[in-house]
Amino acid sequence: MKRFLSLPMKPRLRAGLLAGAAVVCGAWLGVFPADLAAQAYPARPIRIIVPFPAGGPSDVLARVVGEKMAQSFGQPVLVDNRPGANTIIGAEIVAKAPPDGYTLLLAIDSTLTMNQYLYSKLPYDPLKDFSAVTQMMASPFIIITDAARGPKSVEDLIRQAKANPGKLTYGGGTIVVQLAGELLKRMAGVDMVYVPYKGSPPTTQALLSNDVTFIFNGVTSDLPYIRSGRFRVLANTSTLPIAALPDVPRLGDMPGFAGFDVGVWLGLVAPAGTPTDILDRLHREVVRIYQLNDVRQKLSGVGIDPVSSSPTEFAAFIRRDAERWAKVIRDAGIKLD
């Protein structure tokens, strides 16, 4: 009987032959390379691009979720902070990455719904270059004044603004705040001046120093001043409830501001063309993680209210939000380049 010799084979050649065999077998069974990749996912480390510096809410969210995801997947989940250019740097990296589920973006609302209208030239298309995975969090803004010097109510604020066109100022740390102010001005028919700051802490300091009339800010950073009586909260700009401030009225419920709903949200996206099975698996994993008590406690401790939505729901939400901000930005004539 003849025996076939088993010759040594280089590892890379062996891997190539095995991969080729997998493709052939997959094709024979009606399963193709993209399907095989989805079934094996994840087979190596996943990278989550966070377009902000380490330490902020988005970074905390990515690390808390990434740690649990790594335990479940049996693969490292790396958080890669790429701040700068109003999140454009991080977004471009993911937009140009292979659509295999191994490079993800934790995007803030402006990344996907505002930047395309604020910049004449953007190195990515928010609606074409990404596949939605899931919304991750949503948080309201509140309108805050100095309790001793500032307006006592929204009605008082609007009355002062009408009596002093272009004299009242408002501060904020994100482009969303500027747009929220533009929307408020348009609905109230008043003229006020926006003063930008680099994040929440300097925005709070501006109000403490009486440098601005009022601010839009998140709840967490200003809660000590609110509870001490130094700051007064005039309104919740979102339809979302605020557990720490249940008695604060919603701006959208006040006369003249029907439908006003502005907050900040974060969502997970992948490069366009990522297989649906991978998007669905990532979404299911986020839903599972959000049900863990220790995760909810960690996120609550930094003021993050977790939310989730299916890839289809999130994609539809992004498009609706983009349409809304397109009109606000166009009417306000805002350009950042």
Residue 74 has pLDDT above 50, yes or no: yes
Task: Give the model's confidence band at 218: pLDDT under 50 very low, under 70 low, under 90 confident, else very high.
Answer: confident
Residue 73 has pLDDT above 70, yes or no: yes
Beta-ladder partners of 142: 217, 236
How far is the C-alpha of 186 from the C-alpha of 199, rounded, in Å?
24
How far is the C-alpha of 35 from the C-alpha of 31, rounded, in Å?
6
Predicted confidence at residue 222, as pLDDT, reads 86
How far is the C-alpha of 304 from the C-alpha of 324, rounded, in Å?
24
Contacts of 21 (CB under 8 A, 6+ apart): none
Residue 120 has pLDDT above 70, yes or no: yes
Q: Which two tokens stand for residue 32?
A: 């193709």
User: What domains can you pick out in the chain, each with its CATH number?
Assistant: 45-138+264-332 (3.40.190.150), 142-253 (3.40.190.10)
Where do the H-state alpha helices sit in the chain?
11-29, 33-40, 57-73, 88-95, 109-113, 115-118, 154-163, 175-188, 200-208, 223-228, 276-290, 293-301, 311-332
Residue in the structure block whose two tokens are 């009417």: 331
Tens digits of residue pLDDT in 282-326: 999 999 999 999 999 888 877 688 999 999 999 999 999 999 889
What are the backbone angles phi and psi of residue 120, rounded to the nearest 5°? -70, -35
Residue 7 has pLDDT above 50, yes or no: no
How far is the C-alpha of 157 from the C-alpha of 148, rounded, in Å?
14
Burial class (CB in 10 A: 0-12, 13-18, 19+), 217: buried
Closest CA to 273 of 38, 27, 41, 23: 38
What are the backbone angles phi and psi of residue 316, rounded to the nearest 5°? -65, -40
Q: What is the CA radius of gyration of the chain?
A: 24
Q: Which whole number is the average pLDDT over 254-262? A: 93
How far is the C-alpha of 320 from the C-alpha of 314, rounded, in Å?
10
Q: What is the mean pLDDT of the chain?
A: 87
Starting at the edge strand found earlier in the chain, the sheet holding 231-236 runs 193-196, 169-172, 214-217, 142-146, 231-236
Give the global pTM: 0.77
Predicted confidence at residue 4, as pLDDT, reads 34
3-state secondary structure 146-179: ECCCCCCCHHHHHHHHHHCCCCCEEEECCHHHHH
Residue 31 has pLDDT above 70, yes or no: no
- Report how far apart, in Å, the C-alpha atoms of 92 and of each of 89, 100, 325 are: 5, 16, 21
Q: How many residues does the chain have?
A: 337
3-class secondary structure, 258: coil
Residue in the structure block whose two tokens are 């006020």: 192
Predicted confidence at residue 13, as pLDDT, reads 44
3-state secondary structure 51-108: CCCCCCHHHHHHHHHHHHHHHHHCCCEEEEECCCHHHHHHHHHHHCCCCCCCEEEEEE
Task: Give the model's confidence band at 23: pLDDT under 50 very low, under 70 low, under 90 confident, else very high.
Answer: very low
